[in-house]
């Protein structure tokens, strides 16, 4: 859905921050007005009517009862990158974390984990106590906002850059930093709200940085090309719009999303994304540049005749409410918050097979799933996020070695 040929420049202000001047440029260069759909599904409006119900319907997920017991091992098992993660072989890598959110692997056998509300970044590794290695300044944690996604630069061995997506006082933004230095703001002006802040970031196989954003409670933003919200963004490692993006000069890669917190690449470089539905259907989408995924006109399937790209897969929000996703081999792993389970989905040539529920009600709410370089699957729980029922030791980082 190309709507023009103009450019969205990014302007480097004196403090070296990039500021997106979309709306001004939009008018100056004669872009057509941003397309807005008539259908509105305003969480704000619903909240005004039914506050309690809105917390369930409009947040990224909601709480359900938890059963089962945490199961962990004290030692770290070897992992075979050619094998499959053994979901019966849980190891506890870390415990007693405060709303862990982002997770990214370091070159050594360790990972960085962000804590949403504290703004801390911890180094975690099998057999070692978590160690705080950074405190991200300027984090304004409220509702679903705070210190969210993390990514380690593909050239980390040389650059030492860590990337983070965070909620600040005025907006959501993407920063990068070295563990011994201050953060540099790469992207700002992603609207924030108590709900729907997106927050996942990940480097793709093309070396570009992708970010999933949310509509921040105003669904019209998802169809507005001048807004960074309700989109998947594609950026250079310096935070500029990546070359080859569908709207030249814009970081927008795909639009019409409600709240994207899952990004992963499969065979053939295919990008898959997970997003939370409002109160009916969560989605797994195969992301194509410039495609429109329908929100807020459509939740779930049924938008093809209107030019929207259909989801590969949907769940009811009670079954899933998916945050992070990961791909190992031909299997897509989906961490479900409200659904309190790990969905596994076979992928064949970019299509989804029948999902299977794993770890059901075993560890409570699951936020993030990642595949480590050694093939192990790592999971973070999210029982301390205000919507769960934390038990002793929550929240945890779990590792499932591949065999
Ligand atoms: Ca959709």
Q: For the segment 201-252, what is each residue's pLDDT rounded down to a tens digit? A: 999 999 999 999 999 999 999 999 999 999 999 999 999 999 999 999 999 9
Find the 224 Cα to ligand 1 centroid distance in Å.
Answer: 15
Distance (Å) from CA 38 to ligand 1 centroid: 16
Measure 301 CA to ligand 1 centroid, in angstroms.
7
Question: In the predicted model, is pLDDT for residue 11 greater than 90?
Answer: no
Residues 131-186: tens digit of each pLDDT: 999 999 999 999 999 999 999 999 999 999 999 999 999 999 999 999 999 999 99
pLDDT at 296 over 90: yes
User: How many A from CA of 94 to the centre of ligand 1?
Assistant: 35
CA of 67 to the centre of ligand 1 (A): 31
Q: Quick check: is 196 catalytic? A: yes
| 8 A C-beta contact, residue 200 and residue 335 | no
Dist. CA 276 → ligand 1 center (Å):
9
In the structure, what pLDDT confidence band is assigned to residue 313 with cuts at 50, 70 and 90?
very high
User: Ligand 1 centroid vs 332 CA: distance in angstroms?
Assistant: 18
Task: Give me ligand 1 centre to Cα 200, in Å.
Answer: 18
Instruction: Out of 26, 41, 196, 291, pick the active-site residue.
Output: 196
Q: Ligand 1 center to residue 298 CA distance, Å?
A: 6
pLDDT at 61: 75
Task: Please state the rounded mean pLDDT for residues 311-325.
Answer: 97
């Amino acid at each position: 859905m190309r709507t023009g040929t103009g450019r969205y420049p990014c302007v480097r202000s004196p403090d070296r921050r990039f500021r997106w001047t979309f709306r001004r440029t939009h008018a100056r260069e004669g872009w057509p007005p941003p397309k807005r759909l008539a259908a509105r599904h305003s969480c704000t409006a619903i909240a005004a009517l039914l506050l309690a119900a809105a917390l369930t319907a409009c947040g990224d997920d909601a709480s359900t009862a938890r059963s089962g017991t945490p199961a962990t091992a004290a030692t770290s098992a070897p992992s075979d990158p050619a094998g499959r993660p053994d979901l019966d072989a849980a190891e506890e890598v870390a415990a007693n974390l405060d709303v862990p959110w982002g997770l990214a692997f370091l070159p050594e056998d360790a990972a960085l984990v962000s804590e949403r509300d504290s703004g801390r970044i911890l180094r975690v590794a099998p057999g070692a106590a978590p160690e705080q290695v950074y405190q991200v300044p300027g984090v304004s944690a409220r509702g679903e906002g705070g210190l969210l996604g993390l990514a380690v630069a593909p050239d980390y061995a040389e650059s030492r850059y860590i990337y983070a997506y965070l909620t600040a006082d005025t907006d959501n933004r993407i920063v990068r930093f070295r563990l011994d230095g201050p953060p540099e703001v790469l992207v700002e002006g992603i609207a924030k709200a108590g709900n729907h802040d997106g927050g996942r970031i990940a480097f793709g196989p093309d070396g570009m940085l992708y970010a999933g954003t949310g509509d921040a409670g105003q669904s019209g933003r998802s169809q507005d090309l001048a807004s960074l919200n309700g989109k998947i963004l594609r950026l250079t490692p310096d935070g500029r719009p990546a070359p080859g993006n569908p709207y030249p000069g814009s970081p927008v890669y795909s639009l019409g999303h409600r709240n994207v917190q899952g990004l992963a690449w499969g065979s053939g470089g295919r990008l898959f994304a997970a997003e939370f539905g409002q109160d009916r259907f969560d989605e797994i989408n195969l992301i194509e540049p410039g495609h429109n995924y329908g929100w807020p006109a459509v939740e779930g399937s049924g938008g093809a005749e209107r030019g929207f790209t259909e989801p590969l897969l949907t769940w009811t929000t009670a079954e899933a409410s998916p945050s992070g996703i990961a791909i190992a081999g031909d299997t897509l792993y989906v961490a479900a918050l409200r659904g309190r389970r790990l969905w596994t989905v076979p992928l064949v040539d970019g299509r989804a097979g029948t999902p299977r529920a794993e770890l059901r009600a075993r560890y409570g709410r699951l936020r993030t799933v990642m595949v480590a370089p050694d093939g192990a699957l790592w999971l973070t729980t999210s029982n301390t996020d205000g919507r769960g029922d934390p038990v002793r030791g929550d929240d945890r980082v779990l590792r499932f070695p591949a065999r």
